[in-house]
Amino acid sequence: MGDYVLIPKPGSKINLKDYDPDYHGNEDKSSAQKEIQVLQDEMQEFQERLYAEGKQSLLIVLQAMDTGGKDGAIKKVFEGINPQGVHVAAFKAPTPEELAHDFLWRVHQHIPQKGHIGIFNRSHYEDVLVVRVNNLVPESVWKHRYEHINHFERLIADSGTRILKFYLHISKDEQKKRLQARLDTPEKNWKFSSGDLPVRQQWNDYMKAYESVLERCNTEYAPWYIIPANAKWYRDLVITRAIVAALKDMRPAYPPPEPDLDKIVIPD
């Protein structure tokens, strides 16, 4: 596959079959783990600056099929990051109150405030994924949501939030292995949900729905990354690299100190 394009060109046609979930370039696990540690130190430094500066924020959106590794990636990538200033929001099936509003209402309040990093475990994209695949609203309603999402993300980006969206791409075989491991390993039993099985049967419909998302909502201001995610270490490496690169590019700076600090004497 040669050069693996993590961010497809905005507007390009996506066939997820062209993206190998097993891809891991020329990298190997042990050097990846070392690199992740180095990058995490950088991430921590940038996060402190971002927090101190208080002028911009970072939003990370994670989407995947069940067992795709959203939880694992959050745990690994943000290891050692100061929890103050980081907020994880998980989006489950909407409550009656949420359903009584527009689909972005519940999402907007979790957009990270200036200085913070926000992580979405699932997101507003469910409203064009699970909702579309299961006809939870008619097509005449969901088909307009791609545009609504683009406008919403534009607003967020214009307001000082850098947006990175990661689709963790696993294969159907890999999902089978991971579901089986949840059945076979007592400590993983709690993660097994028989409700994941009917969703697995809709695999191809979900891939189509993801392709539409990746084609229609991949913008310059809120890019989608297609992360090969069968190898967990590679998934974590690529995500960590992307986040650190974005933080670097944001150039968060410590605010200037009060004047004449060197003349100040702390009284006894």
Pseudo-torsion of CA 148, 153, 158, 163, nearest 10°?
A: -170
Q: How far is the CB of 127 from ligand ATP (least distance, A)?
A: 5
Q: How far is the CB of 143 from ligand ATP (least distance, A)?
A: 16
Given ligand ATP, Mg ion, none, residue 154, with its beta carbon under 5 to 8 Å by kind, binds: none
Nearest alpha carbon to residue 153 among 218, 88, 64: 218
Given Mg ion, ligand ATP, none, residue 175, with its beta carbon under 5 to 8 Å by kind, binds: none
Pick between residue 81 and residue 133 the one whose CB is nearest to ligand ATP.
Answer: 133
Q: How far is the CB of 124 from ligand ATP (least distance, A)?
A: 8
Calpha distance 69→72 (Å, rounded): 5
Contact set with ligand ATP (CB under 6 A): 66, 71, 91-94, 121-122, 126-127, 130-131, 136, 191, 193
Q: How far is the CB of 106 from ligand ATP (least distance, A)?
A: 8
The DSSP secondary structure of 106-159, one letter per residue, reads: HHHTTSPPTT-EEEEES-GGGGGTHHHHTTSS-HHHHTTHHHHHHHHHHHHHHT
Q: Are 90 and 70 contacting, i.e. CB atoms less than 8 angstroms apart?
A: no
Q: How far is the CB of 216 from ligand ATP (least distance, A)?
A: 17
Residue matched to tokens 């534009």 = 154
What six digits make up the tokens of 189? Answer: 């039993």
Q: Which residue is nearest to ligand ATP (CB)?
A: 126
Q: Which of residues 64-103 bind Mg ion (CB under 5 A)?
A: 66
Phi and psi (nearest 5°) for 19? -105, 115
Given Mg ion, ligand ATP, none, residue 93, with its beta carbon under 5 to 8 Å by kind, binds: ligand ATP
